[in-house]
Every structure is written in structure tokens, then in C-alpha cells.
Structure 1
């Protein structure tokens, strides 16, 4: 019997969740249940896996289990960028091996197209916008990164446009940045609204249980998931719970649950929108990986996302919220001096699952246990794609992207505690220091 030593416990003010359509959560599971398939984690990966499994096995029940409420956890706390292009921060041109980069591009595009199809079919209101993204720089170091990335994108045939700082206010209102690389393929969306809509449009043979945290698990010929009010026994289990997979007995000392912090402003008035100028919807990714992500949303709010902390139990720490809110306020004021009285309504943390070597896990963890885990910051597209493909793998389908994913060496092993936390948090602090005014 595997005891689950840590459960999700996210903080209470995720802006995307509270500003998206309210829904009635599905009831928690009570009693005993048997099903052919069970999936732990109703984020983007788990939702895609459940939908695709239900299509492959229409006569079998797929049970999808969520510890909290759909849209409240990490899938609804990211910045809302569904990115197509690869970005290998370990390569000089941020693309690296062209063959690998093209496969990553296909993988991300698969995730994008799958989401587009579902959103259109079920009329999911999630502010989906084909807006592209701006990779923007403040420093000379950042500009060098943009130039290198543009040359890398050209190698894989992806269009991009370098925009001078003097022209940027026409695009994003602010004159803060010296230069930006516009990449057209990114989709912007409201992540919590997306996840809620995906959950409410699942096939009829998917049973979703919310507020059902698993407290222990018995691995045998069948897998039995035990919680405080009963148990669920399945022939096949899929783990789609990222960093929490290590608490289920797999990939221990290989997953790095890292938290990013976001703040969402109140809605801008018509007069403030006019003062800001620029396009009505846009998203900025920092040239430096530790800089600030900034968005202007469809409903005229400004998102600021920056600052990091690492917590191996996968649970955030409330004390960081007020500290990092100050960072968000400074970042906002630097960029938007024309908006002096715009306050933040929501501040929250959101987990991303990283690995030391930037590799995820995809495939079989045990004889009847599969995993699609560790998206390394690309949860919307990568999580969706790998969720769909893990269902295809279980159904016996073959695909070049399945072969590509199963060839991965998986996440590297990391040092034991306390050296791991000391090391990771030191890297995060140093990275944020080096980012300078990019934050």
C-alpha cells in the first residue's frame, strides 16, 4: 500500500478561476467503484486523456478524479499562452537540433489543434484569441537572445517579425521594451475557463469526480485508489498529476514542483484603455526566462506574472503572496505609468512541473500504470497533446510523436534533500537577480 504523503492545497484567489464562468462541480466519489480506466488529475493532460480514451473505448467507463475543483488548480493558474514553437533554453539559438525541434513543433501544434477543435465544437467561452506572442527585451542581453531565437526559428521555417522599441506602443501600449520578436502562432486564452469548459463537455462514458483527493493506493493486478469516503478500482491507471506523481511512488527525486506568481488587475475603464493604446489583446513573454510575463486580456485586465519558489511537496506557501505582490506592482508601474490607479484584484501562485534536464515522462510506469507528466512550463499545448497521445498509446495506436515521446530518457534524478531545495532555490534567486529590469 502506497500512502500519499502530500495533497494539493492551492491558495484561494486565482484570478482566472474567479473571473470565469461559475459552474457546479461534479460530486465527490462515495463508496466503492470499479472501472476499466482511472485517471488522477483533471487538468489539461487528464482531460485530454479522458476524452481520447472515451473515444477509443466507447463501451467502457473512464473515471477522472480531481482532488480540488476543476479549473482551480495549476491548469487554471498559468498565463494562458498556448505556444506552438519550441524554445530550448539550453541551445545557443533556442532551437538546437532541427529534427527534434520539428517534432516538438508538431507535438505543440497537435495540442493547439485539438483544443481549437473542442472549443469550436462545444462553443467553450474561454477568450481564445489567435493573437501570437511578443518575446520582448529590455536589456542588450535580452536583445541578443531575441536575435538568436529569430535565427533559430528561421531554421525550422517559422515566421517571426522583429519590432523596434519605438514601434512597440502601437502593439502593446507600453514603451518600456527596447525590442520585441513577434511570433504569430501562439494562442492566448483564459485557462480556467478553458479547463471548466473541457470538463463540462466530456463524453458520456467519462465520470468526473471532484473534491476526491486520493490518500493511498494499492498496486496489484488491478489498481485501487483509496480516499476518505471509499475506493475506486481500475484495470488501468493514468497519472496526470505532474509533481504529485512522486507521492504516488513514481519518478521520485526527478520532478521539480516550482511555483510562479501572478496578479490580475481590475478591468480598465474606457478612458484607461484609451490612455494605454495598443492592440486590444496581446501577450508578452520575457526574453530572459526569469523576467515578467504580461498580458492584456479580452475583458481588459492586465496580468503580471513573475517570481519563483520551489516546494518539493507541491504545495504553495501563503507567505510569498504578499512579498511577490510587491514585485508585481513594481513591474506594472515600470511598464504602465499611464495607468497609475489600477489595482490588482487577484494574486495567486501556480505550480509548473520542471525537470533538471527539461525532459518530461511519457509512457508506462508499471505493468498497469501509465503517466504523461512534467510539461516543463508548456502545460496547455504539451499537456493536451501528451494526454491525447497517452490514450492513443493505451489503445495500441502508433504515431511518430508517440515514438518520439517514448524515446525520451525522462527526467534526470536530482540530489536528496536538503541539498535539492537549497540548490534549486539558489538557482531561482540568482536567475531573478540576473533578469534585472526584465522583471
Structure 2
């Protein structure tokens, strides 16, 4: 028996969750249930896997288990970029091997296209805008990153526009940046609203149970998952729990639960919108990975996301919220001096499941146990497409993308503790310091 020693425990202050339309959570599971397919984790990956399994096996009941409320966890806490392009930060031109990059592009586009189809089919109100994204820089080092990425995009034959700093205010209002690189393929979303909508539009043969944390698992010919009010017996278990997969006994010492933090303002007044200028909605990612991400939302709020912490148990820690909101205020003030009276309404943290070699896991974990884990910060598109493709593979399908995922090396091993904690914390501190004005 494997006891689950670490359960999700996110902070209660996620702006996306509270600003999205309230829904009635599905009841927690109780008693004993038997099912051919049980999916644990109702984020982007789990929702896609459960939906596709239900489609492939319309006569089977698919059980989907979520430890918290749908939209409250990691999938509802990201910056809301459904990104199409590959971005290999380990490669000189951020593209790397061209054939691998082309396949990753197909994966990302597949996830984005599938989400767009579901949003339109079920009229999910999630502020979906296929408006592209800006990658912006203020330091010389950041500008060099943009130039390198431009060379990579040329190699990949993808469209972009380089924008001089003096022209950027026409796009994003602020005069803070010296150069930007615009790519048209990214979609922007309200992530919690999207996750809630996906949950409420699942096929009728998916049984979703929320607020049902699994406490222990027994692996064997059948997989028995126990919780406080009962148990679920699965012929096949699908894990879509990202870093919490380690708590279930898999990929131990191979994933890194790293939290990043965001704050979102109240809505801007008409006068403040006029002072800001620029387009009515946009998203900016930093040239430096440790820099600041920005969003102007459809409802005229500004979001700031930066700062990182390594939380080995995958759980939120209040001290980081209190520490990093001051950094958010400083980042906001430097970028938007024309908006001195605009306060933040919410500040929250959200987990990323990272691996040192930037690889995820896809496939068989043990007899009757399968997983799509470790999205490396691309949960919206990559989580969606790997969840869907995992279900396709379990239904006997084959194809280029499935083969690519099955043959990937997976997350590499981390150094032993305490070396991994010491090294990662030092790396996070140094990266945030080195980001300079990009932070």
C-alpha cells in the first residue's frame, strides 16, 4: 500500500478562480465504486483524458477524481497563455533541433485547436482571444534573447514582428520596454473559467467527484484508491496529477514543484484606460525566464506575474505571498507609472511541475497504471493534448505524436536531498537577481 503523504493545498486568494463564474461543485465520492477507467486530477490534462476516454468508450463509466474544487488548483492559476510555439530555453536559438521543434509545434497546436473547438461547441465564457503574445525586453541580455529567438523562428518558418521600443506603447501602453517580438499564434484565456467550463461540459458517462483527496493506493490486478469516505476500484488508473504523481509512488526525485506568483488589479476606470492606452487586451512574456509576465484582460484588469519558490511538498506557503506581493507592486509601478492609484485585488501562487531536462512523462507507469505528468509550465496546451493523446493510445490508436511522446526520455533524476533543495533555491535566487530590470 502507498500512503499519499502530500495532498494539494492551494491558497484561497486566486483571482482567476474568484473572478470566474461560480459553479456548483460536484459532490465528493462516498461508498465504494468500481470502474474500468479512473482518472485522478481534474486539471487540463485530466479533463482531456477523461473526456476522450468517455468518447472512445461510450459504454464505460469514467471516474474523474479531484482533490480540491475544479478550477481552484494549478490549472486555474496560470497566466492564461495557450502558447503554440516551442521555446527550448536550453537551445541557443530557443528552437533547437528543427525536427523536434516541428513536432512540438504540432503538439501545441493540437492542444490549442482542441480547446478552441470545445470552447466554441459548449459556449464556454473564458475570455478566449486568439490575439498573439509579445515577448519583451529592457536589458541588453534580454534583447539578445529576442534576436536569438527571431533566428529560431526563421528556421522554423513561423511568422513574427519585431517592434522597436518607441512603438510598443501603441500595443501595450507602457514605455518600459526597449524591444518586443510579437508572434500571432498564442491565445489568451481566463484559465479558471475555462477549466470550470470544461468540467461542466463533460460527457454524461464521466462521473466527476470533487473535494475527494486520495489517501492511499493499493496497486495490483486492480488498483484500489481509498479516501476518507470510501474507496474506488479501478481496472485502469490514469494519473494526471503532475508533481503529485511522486506522492503516488512514481517518478520520485524526477519532478520539481516550483511555485510562481501573480497579482491582478481591480478593473481600470475609463480615465485609467485612456491614460494607459494601447490595445484593449494583450499578453507579454519576459525575454528573461525569471522576468515579469503581464496581461491586460478583457475586463480591463492588469496582471503581474513573477517570483518563484521551491515547495518540495507541492503545497502553498503563505509567507511567499506576503513577500512577493511587494515585488509585484514594484514591478507594476515601474511599468505603469501613469496608474499610481491602481491597487491589486488578488495575489496568489500556483505550482509548476518542472524537470531538469524539461521533459514530461507519457505512457505506462506500472501494470494498469498510466500517466501524463510534468508539463514544464505548458499545462494549457501541452497538458490538454497529452491528456487527449494518452486516452487515444489507451484506446489502441497510433500516430506520429503518440510515438514521439512514448519515445521521449522522460524527466531525468534530480540530485539527492538536500543538494536538490539547496541548488534549486540558489538557482531561483540568482535567476531572479540576474533578471535585473526584467523582473
Deviation by residue 1:269-303 (Cα, 9 ceiling, x = unmatched): 01100110000000000000000000000000000
Aligned to 1:25: 25
Provide the rounded CA distance (Å) in 2 between the counterparts of 1:399 and 1:178.
44
Deviation by residue 1:250-283 (Cα, 9 ceiling, x = unmatched): 0000000000000010000011001100000000
1:268 and 1:301 in contact (8 A); partners too: yes
The Cα shift of 1:367 comes to 1.2
DSSP-derived class of the 1:252 partner: coil
Q: Quote the RMSD (CA, aligned, Å).
A: 0.4
Instruction: Tell me the number of residue pairs that the alignment of Structure 1 and Structure 2 aligns.
Output: 439
Deviation by residue 1:86-116 (Cα, 9 ceiling, x = unmatched): 0000000000000000000000000000000
DSSP-derived class of the 1:391 partner: helix
Deviation by residue 1:218-249 (Cα, 9 ceiling, x = unmatched): 00101011000000011000000000000000
Give 1:227-242 correspondences, 5 Å limit: 227-242=227-242
Aligned to 1:46: 46
The Cα shift of 1:311 comes to 1.1
Deviation by residue 1:363-417 (Cα, 9 ceiling, x = unmatched): 0001100000001010100000000000001000001000000111100101122
DSSP-derived class of the 1:67 partner: coil
Aligned to 2:289: 289
Q: How high is the TM-score relative to the length of structure 2?
A: 1.00
Give 1:148-297 correspondences, 5 Å limit: 148-297=148-297
The Cα shift of 1:154 comes to 1.1
Provide the rounded CA distance (Å) in 2 between the counterparts of 1:210 and 1:249.
22
The Cα shift of 1:131 comes to 1.0
Q: How high is the TM-score relative to the length of structure 1?
A: 1.00
Aligned to 1:98: 98
Provide the rounded CA distance (Å) in 1 between the counterparts of 2:419 and 2:233.
38
DSSP-derived class of the 1:10 partner: coil
The Cα shift of 1:322 comes to 1.1
Aligned to 1:319: 319
Provide the rounded CA distance (Å) in 2 between the counterparts of 1:96 and 1:126.
33
Provide the rounded CA distance (Å) in 1 between the counterparts of 2:331 and 2:266.
16
The Cα shift of 1:325 comes to 0.1
The Cα shift of 1:170 comes to 0.2
Matched, 1:16 2:38: no
Provide the rounded CA distance (Å) in 1 between the counterparts of 2:337 and 2:427.
31
Runs of 4+ in 1 over 3 A off after TM superposition: none
Aligned to 2:62: 62
Provide the rounded CA distance (Å) in 2 between the counterparts of 1:336 and 1:247.
42
1:13 and 1:347 in contact (8 A); partners too: yes
- Give ranges in structure 1 of 5+ residues lacking alignment: none
Provide the rounded CA distance (Å) in 1 between the counterparts of 2:138 and 2:407.
38
DSSP-derived class of the 2:75 partner: helix
1:75 and 1:379 in contact (8 A); partners too: yes
Provide the rounded CA distance (Å) in 2 between the counterparts of 1:370 and 1:231.
19
Aligned to 1:356: 356
Provide the rounded CA distance (Å) in 2 between the counterparts of 1:131 and 1:344.
25
The Cα shift of 1:178 comes to 0.2
Provide the rounded CA distance (Å) in 2 between the counterparts of 1:330 and 1:267.
19
DSSP-derived class of the 2:307 partner: strand
Matched, 1:408 2:408: yes
Provide the rounded CA distance (Å) in 1 between the counterparts of 2:312 and 2:153.
34
1:311 and 1:421 in contact (8 A); partners too: no
Provide the rounded CA distance (Å) in 1 between the counterparts of 2:130 and 2:336.
24
DSSP-derived class of the 2:435 partner: helix
Provide the rounded CA distance (Å) in 2 between the counterparts of 1:426 and 1:61.
47
Aligned to 1:4: 4
- Give ranges in structure 2 of 5+ residues lacking alignment: none
DSSP-derived class of the 1:328 partner: helix
Provide the rounded CA distance (Å) in 2 between the counterparts of 1:60 and 1:426.
49
Is the deviation greater in 411-420 or in 382-391? 411-420
2:220 and 2:367 in contact (8 A); partners too: no
Aligned to 1:399: 399
Provide the rounded CA distance (Å) in 2 between the counterparts of 1:421 and 1:31.
40
The Cα shift of 1:338 comes to 0.4
Deviation by residue 1:55-88 (Cα, 9 ceiling, x = unmatched): 0000000000000000000000000000000000
